[in-house]
Amino acid sequence: MDALQTIIDAIALGSVYALVAMGIGLVFGVMRLVNFAHGELITFGAYALVLTNHLPLVVGIVVCFATVIGLSLAMEVAYRPLRTSPPTTMLVTTFAVSFLLQAVALLAFGARGQNANVLEKLNTAVSIGDLRVRWVTLVSIAVGAVLLSGTALILRRTDIGLQMRAAAMDFRTAQLLGVRATTVIRFAFVLAGVLAACATVLLVVSRPLVTPGYGFQLVIPALVGVVVGGLDRLTSATLGGFAVGFAASVLGDVLPADGRVFLDTALFLLVIVVLLVRPGGLFTRSRAAWERV
Amino acid sequence: MFVADAMLEIRGLEIRYAGVPAVRGISFEVGRGEVVGLVGPNGAGKSSTLLAIMGMVEPHAGDVLVDGRSLVGSSTEEIVRGGVSLVPEGRRIFPELTVDENLRLGLQGRRSRDGAEEDVEQAAALFPVVREARDRPAGVLSGGQQQHLAIARSLVAQPSVLLLDEPSLGLAPKVVEDVFAALAEIRGRGVTILLVEQRAQFAVGFADRTHVLANGQLRLTLTPADAGDTDKMAAAYFGH
Amino acid sequence: MRRLGSASQLVAPVALLALVGLAGSFTSRSVQFQFRFALVMATIVIALYVFVGNSGVVSFGHVSFVAVGAFAAGLTTVPEALKLSLSPDLFPIIASAEVGNAMSLGLAAAVGGLFAFLVGVALMRLSGLAAGIATFAVLVITNNVLRNWEAIGPGARTLSLVPETTSFMQGTVGVIAVAILAFLYQRSRWGRVLRASSEDPYAAQGSGVNIYRQRLVAFTLSGALAGFAGGLFVHLLGSITTQQVYLDLAFLTLAMLVIGGVGSLWGAVVGALLVSGVNSLLLSAEDGIGLGFVDLDVPTGTRLVTLGAVMALIMLFRPTGITGGREIRLPGLR
């Protein structure tokens, strides 16, 4: 049952990527800002788990969440001068912040990886019929599903969620109606932080070696997914993230070693093609005009 | 023109965009419960004035006062909570949200949640579309219905001053009549209204008085009696 | 609109570069390398500026052109035997190619320019966010291909034994030549049209300007200059690996341009020299072996943190950079 195994693993990785992509999409929706530094939330969350290695698991997870959400809120404050900036400035700034945080991690923790041995039991496998599936795979899928639907529920059913959706559609009119810009943006960053923290814990179980580039390496494909899926809508962005995670996992299993090295090239060629041909994204219904000259 | 018990005061308002003057020092007042119209040709500065009141545009000089309090420098959020609400040009409803959701957004502008349900019911009574199309996406509504929704949305924010930017835009005369009938109801409840219109005939006949704004300056003031006077109406329309 | 035409605005950047070149040659051996490194960085940053400064469009991918230029110059100036020992599958034409120093630099420029042209044909319709992401994609793809396609180069292995011909003379002359070309472009009709279009795209289109074509011209030119800089780079280091012309260099050169001031040649020069200077200072302070960016896994990372922090702060609070994006005219000159 190799194929089924591959698919289940792919769904798990796709779920984790979807969490990251959704976080990026939420912030983009309310601020029109693509946060290159989103990956560093994961990096620092992972290091938090490293540092609390010897403490009880619950403490570790709490510290991880606190670190990630705290850092996300700090980013919200730092990015405030950017609210009226052109997208180019935003892009370069978040790139700078990403590099800054990576440098800080390098300074604080060194270049060599450190181990965060979290929930190692989840790496053990359980037999379901003919399959041997790791617990973490099942947990990833479950957590992913819960969080994604939970976030969707918040957006659809709560007042703050309504405000966020409105702000993402037409920020100016939302303001005219009295929607509090700062509250909405801050909430988006908090929510993105929660999603990132969950993704971090799940990731660290399968990949316990944490380096300064840990999150950056992950956020690049996730960003690809968001762009390819469709930046303008949360559902298409999240779906794009899932698709990239799914594809990366499948290709990782299926491709021979030689073919795998050009995975990045294939992925990024796809990004360029999508940007040129269908800038609104693959999973959106209409062609959104995206700053075409 | 000096009005006793002014609810909305514009004093020497000057607005510039990148150094180019759009509004060159205008002053007028709207009394409590009054309806004042502002008409003039395109680019005269009408929308800019409304945006300045709402805090979306910073005036180069001058002041805006509501109930004696200066609004200049306050954020749009604060101004809305202070009781000023704008029904924007082109209605700008959220087509992908349902009618109900659009309305609920308007509730964000209230100072307190008390009485929200009653106000929503009142809006539903005044604008049938709110009741009938509650769970449908606002994008499927007709122009007139969307205008009703936009007004309802601003109304549930409990404004003491209601600003309207070209409510007749893109609507057939019969539909405009409906809209103005609703506005008459609102006026009857004592809401102070500033009405910006490019189609002067609607404003002049409806408002207590109407100012003509042309090239950033106030040129003359009309009363409903002038609605039949073609010369004056032409002057209003072309901004002489 | 700023007056970009006056030739006196070229004096300051060229003078500063010449000064740095001259002063550097009188320093001790180990410090000399830092100076030459600064000059080569300035070349890259000026090349980047030619596109970004005139079009207003961000490019994360220019280091790709530096990369192909570096490998082109490097591969054509090392012995065939070495090349084949590194990658036996190398295309015969590359394996047998051997040219002199000047030719290698010319080749680097040509390869960089051609590559930029091809990329530009596809990408110049994009602006803003889309351009940033697309050019970033180009960076990743170039690195991925160079690193893994062993028929065109040494792959992940280091290409060494490249003649270290970037002396103070070559470095200074090279960067000044690039600066002059950049200046000639920005004061030419094409350069001014592009700059005006970036400031007011609607007016430009209304006047019949083909923004796509203008951007392509700037992109190609800047790609050629970047390729040339890549040639200088490989002849400075005497070796090259794909990691040296990837993300870290991309970030560094972009930071230099942004800190100095995106809008002007003076900004590019000031940014490059200033950041290089601070970088070297911090490097000595960390007490490491000053070999520039040969290996980034140096335990101490203060200078990276400093650089990142300065860049972030500038972007947040003074996005026009130290020079405010203005050219400088020395007093006393017309």
Count of structural domains, chain A: 1
Integer Rg of chain C from CA: 19
Residue C153 per-residue DSSP state: S
Q: What is the CATH number of the domain that holds A108?
A: 1.10.3470
Across the interface, whether the CB atoms of C312 and A96 are under 8 A apart is answered: yes
C68: tokens are 């192909």
Give the best-scoring range by mean pLDDT among A204-208, A288-292, C136-140. Answer: C136-140
Average pLDDT over residues A259-277: 83
Cα C173 → chain centroid: 15
Cβ neighbours of A235 in B, within 8 Å: none
Higher pLDDT, A253 or A51: A51
Task: Assess C304–A contact: CB distance below 8 Å, yes or no.
Answer: yes
pLDDT given for residue B4 in this prediction: 63
Q: Is residue C298 over pLDDT 50?
A: no
pLDDT given for residue B223 in this prediction: 85
Q: Residue A287 falls within a domain, yes or no? A: no
pLDDT given for residue C161 in this prediction: 83
Average pLDDT over residues C196-215: 82
> What is the 3-class SS of A98-146, one letter each residue?
HHHHHHHHHHHHCCCCEECCCCHHHHCEEEECCEEEEHHHHHHHHHHHH
Q: Which of residues 89-128 of C touch A (CB under 8 A)?
A: 122-123, 125-128
Average pLDDT over residues B66-80: 90
Please give the interface size between A and C, counted as residue pairs whose CB atoms are below 8 Å apart: 136
Residue type (1 letter), B37: G
Residue B224 per-residue DSSP state: G
Higher pLDDT, B218 or A41: A41
Q: Residue A291 falls within a domain, yes or no? A: no
pLDDT band at C294 (very low <50, low <70, confident <90, very high): low
Write out the H or E segment, with its range, that includes residue C248.
Answer: helix C247-260
pLDDT given for residue C296 in this prediction: 43
Q: Residue A47 falls within a domain, yes or no? A: yes
Average pLDDT over residues B107-129: 86
pLDDT band at B240 (very low <50, low <70, confident <90, very high): low
CA distance to partner chain A, nearest, from residue C157 (Å): 15
User: Could you say which of C128, C302, C312 has the minimum Cβ distance to residue A97?
Assistant: C312
Task: Assess A268–C contact: CB distance below 8 Å, yes or no.
Answer: yes
Q: Is residue C300 over pLDDT 70?
A: no
B218: tokens are 């106030």
Enter the pTM of the model. Answer: 0.85
In the structure, do chain B and chain A come into contact, i.e. share 3 or more CB pairs under 8 Å? yes
Q: Residue A233 falls within a domain, yes or no? A: yes
User: Could you say which of A78, A95, A103 has the minimum Cβ distance to residue C304?
Assistant: A103
Q: Which of residues 173-202 of C touch A (CB under 8 A)?
A: 201
CA distance to partner chain A, nearest, from residue C285 (Å): 15
CA distance to partner chain C, nearest, from residue A251 (Å): 17
Residue type (1 letter), A200: T
Rounded to two decimals, the ipTM of the complex is 0.87
Q: Is residue B17 over pLDDT 80?
A: yes
pLDDT given for residue B236 in this prediction: 66
Measured CA angle at B99 (ends B93, B104), to 5 deg: 85
pLDDT given for residue B97 in this prediction: 92
pLDDT given for residue A125 in this prediction: 79
Across the interface, whether the CB atoms of B94 and A173 are under 8 A apart is answered: yes
Write out the H or E segment, with its range, that includes residue B221.
Answer: strand B217-222
Select the residue from A34, A244, A275 to test the C interface by mutation, using most C Cβ atoms within 10 A. Answer: A275
CA distance to partner chain C, nearest, from residue A81 (Å): 6
Q: Residue A239 falls within a domain, yes or no? A: yes
HSE-CB of C214 using CA atoms within 13 angstroms: 26
Of A30-44, B35-49, C39-53, the one with minimum mean pLDDT is B35-49
Rounded distance between C-alpha atoms, residue A51 and residue A44, angstroms: 10
CA distance to partner chain A, nearest, from residue C171 (Å): 29
Rounded distance between C-alpha atoms, residue B8 and residue C328, angstroms: 51
Rounded distance between C-alpha atoms, residue A212 and residue A200, angstroms: 14
Task: Assess A220–C contact: CB distance below 8 Å, yes or no.
Answer: yes
Q: Residue A292 falls within a domain, yes or no? A: no
pLDDT band at A288 (very low <50, low <70, confident <90, very high): very low
Average pLDDT over residues A183-205: 94
Across the interface, whether the CB atoms of A111 and C299 are under 8 A apart is answered: yes
CA distance to partner chain A, nearest, from residue B101 (Å): 7
Q: Which residue of A has its CA nearest to B110?
A: A178
Q: Which residue matches tokens 């491709």?
A: A255
pLDDT given for residue A1 in this prediction: 52
Asked if A196 and A68 touch (Cβ cutoff 8 Å), the reply is yes
Higher pLDDT, B44 or B9: B9
A179: tokens are 């929607």
Cβ neighbours of B108 in A, within 8 Å: 159, 163, 177-180
Q: Which residue matches tokens 């039991």?
A: A121
Task: Assess B78–A contact: CB distance below 8 Å, yes or no.
Answer: no
Mean pLDDT of chain C: 85
Q: Is residue B50 over pLDDT 60?
A: yes
pLDDT given for residue A117 in this prediction: 78
Q: Could you tell me whether strands B6-17 and B61-66 are parallel, antiparallel, or unpaired per DSSP bridges?
A: antiparallel
Across the interface, whether the CB atoms of A177 and B54 are under 8 A apart is answered: no
Select the residue from B79, B105, B164 to test the A interface by mutation, using most A Cβ atoms within 10 A. Answer: B105
Q: What percent of chain C has pLDDT over 70?
A: 92
Asked if C152 and C94 touch (Cβ cutoff 8 Å), the reply is yes
pLDDT given for residue C3 in this prediction: 53
A85: tokens are 């900036």
Q: Which residue of A has its CA nearest to C249?
A: A99
Q: Is residue C156 over pLDDT 90?
A: no
Average pLDDT over residues A185-203: 95
pLDDT digits (tens, 9 = 90+) for B185-202: 888 888 999 999 888 888
State the residue range of the domain holding A203: 2-282
**Which residues, 6+ apart, have CB-to-CB distance to C116 below 8 Å?**
C65, C219, C220, C222, C223, C224, C226, C227
**Which residues, 6+ apart, have CB-to-CB distance to A37 below 8 Å?**
A75, A94, A97, A98, A101
Task: Assess A84–C contact: CB distance below 8 Å, yes or no.
Answer: no
Across the interface, whether the CB atoms of B105 and A176 are under 8 A apart is answered: no
CA distance to partner chain A, nearest, from residue B97 (Å): 8
